[in-house]
Amino acid sequence: MGSLTRPPNIDARRYNPDMKQTWPAPERNREPIREVLAPLLPAQGLVLEVASGTGQHVVHFAQSFPNLAWQPSDHDLEHVASIAAWRDEANLPNLLRPIELDVTLLPWPIAQADVVLCSNMVHIAPIEVMHALFAGAARVLPANGLLVLYGPFRFHGKFTAPSNQEFDESLRARDPRWGVRDIRELTVTGTRTGFGLEHTIAMPANNHTLVFRRRQMLPPTGQFRI
């Protein structure tokens, strides 16, 4: 099982109901994501959510799948505080305290998970963060464990809709290191870190869910470098 406590560098005074944030996007997409997760998740175990944001997703998933333990995380302390506020309000026994997690810092503050879930992160971060996500997930997942990604993606150089191309342009204008990732980048990184792409699932609003499975045999250690 993963860590059940937040790291000591997070100020406990930040955890109060006033820190709770609510965003419209998680309210819209949490149920479609839940529907996709339902046949994929194991009957029991621990799901690590990377980049939990406000905490709206993980509360919904913990309510929907009570036999699984849910470990939320985020690198932003304001988000961690919001997750904690949502968790305190929900009062769910299977929803663990949020942890601070920067995927580029190894080792991660959790030793093991059965599933790693990450929504809407890889396009608002440098590509090195995407590489680090795969490398870190390979370290905490068992053979056949799942890495599930949700968000907008390009497919072999093409956008799935004009709105995704406009979104990509706006992201790159904010930070040239950001952008909607191509499925080729993801599958190559997956292969290098011991994952195979198993499912590509179309979602509302021109998003997709990508399901990667960790293979039995991992590549040589040197290929995990990020």
- Assigned token pair, 64: 């929907």
pLDDT at residue 92 is higher than 60 = yes
Tokens of 18: 């006033």
pLDDT, residue 12, reads: 42
Mean of pLDDT values over 117-135: 96
Inform me whether the pLDDT recorded for 14 exceeds 70.
no
Instruction: Report helix angle 56-64 to 24-37, nearest 10.
Output: 30
Contact 34, 141 (CB under 8 A): no
- Predicted TM-score of the model (pTM): 0.89
* Tens of pLDDT, residues 16-60: 667 788 777 778 989 999 999 999 999 999 999 999 999 999 999
**pLDDT score of 15:** 61
Domain locations in the chain? 12-224
For 153-206, what is each residue's pLDDT tens digit?
A: 999 999 999 999 999 999 999 999 999 999 999 999 999 999 999 999 999 999
pLDDT surpassing 90 at residue 210: yes
Residue 9, pLDDT > 50, answer: no
Q: In 3D, which of 168, 157, 147, 155 has the Cα closest to residue 213?
A: 147
Confidence bin at 130 (pLDDT 50/70/90): very high
173 — alpha (psi -120 to 50), left (phi > 0) or beta? alpha
Percent of the chain scoring above 70 in pLDDT: 87
- Give the C-alpha separation, 67 to 169, whole Å: 41
Question: Could you tell me which CATH number the domain at 12-224 has?
Answer: 3.40.50.150
pLDDT the model gives residue 218: 60
